[in-house]
Amino acid sequence: MTSCLNIYNGDALKLAKQHIPDCSVDLIFTDPPYPKEYHYLYQWLAREAKRVLKPNGFLFTYAGPYWKHKVMMTLGRHLDYYYDFILMHNGNTSILWPRRIISGYKSFLCYTQKGSKPLPVTNVLGKFDGCGGDKNFHNWGQEANSARYYIDVFSRPGDMVVDYFVGGGTTPVVCKALERNFIGFEINKTSYDTAMARLEGSLGPREKGRQEILL
């Protein structure tokens, strides 16, 4: 099966409606920035998910623990809560200095269209033992193993997956490996170039080797 994989260099908030039809997406798999000044992105994401998700589609979004309650309230205005998946940071953690908490995990929030009752392809782990982030390709990058697991369980080959904040390209690379169709957006040109290089397999030997291990 040949997948259709497209990444656009630009602001998803301006480009999404142009490239993604209503009710056409099986899975949104994305990672907005966590700081408070970016919370408006979750507000937009909730409305956008309501627009583009199929009745049986899922939204997966990473969320830092510090502002998780705010993110959940925002998403819940437009979508139904499905589950709060936990990604453990084995061997890679951070400190939330304002509250003196050593954080060893992050949440992976899952939502669906209101009133819908979709199910994953098979039984799914509520807690995934990952390695934290992967900063080889982006300062806020996520590791590919957990992405591969949840994309595989919550979509099927040929499904449409969308990432509005592509970063260094983890989601499209995983979608290519799993034969999913993909549309993504990345506003930063350097990150966009990195994501395209990963997708096209044109990275150097060291980076390419890292990518193959993760996948």
Residue 204, pLDDT > 60, answer no
Per the prediction, the chain carries an average pLDDT of: 87
**pLDDT of 151 over the 80 cut:** yes
| Domain of residue 189, CATH code | 3.40.50.150
- At 1 the pLDDT is 61
Q: What is the DSSP string of 28-82?
A: EEE----SGGGHHHHHHHHHHHHHHEEEEEEEEEEE-GGGHHHHHHHHHTTEEEE
**pLDDT-derived band at 105, boundaries 50, 70, 90:** confident
Query: Has residue 139 got a pLDDT over 70?
Result: no
pLDDT band of residue 119 (cuts 50, 70, 90) is very high
Q: What domain range includes position 30?
A: 5-214
Q: Can you give the pLDDT at residue 195?
A: 92
The two tokens of residue 141 are: 């990058």
Model pLDDT, residue 210? 39
Amino acid identity, position 159: D
Structural contact between residues 173 and 7, judged by C-beta atoms closer than 8 angstroms: no
Q: Is the pLDDT of residue 214 over 50?
A: no
Residues of the chain with pLDDT > 90, as a percent, come to 67
Residue 84 backbone dihedrals phi, psi, to 5 degrees: -110, 90
How many domains in the chain?
1
Higher pLDDT, 181 or 67: 181
* Closest to 192 (Cα-Cα) out of 15, 35, 28: 15
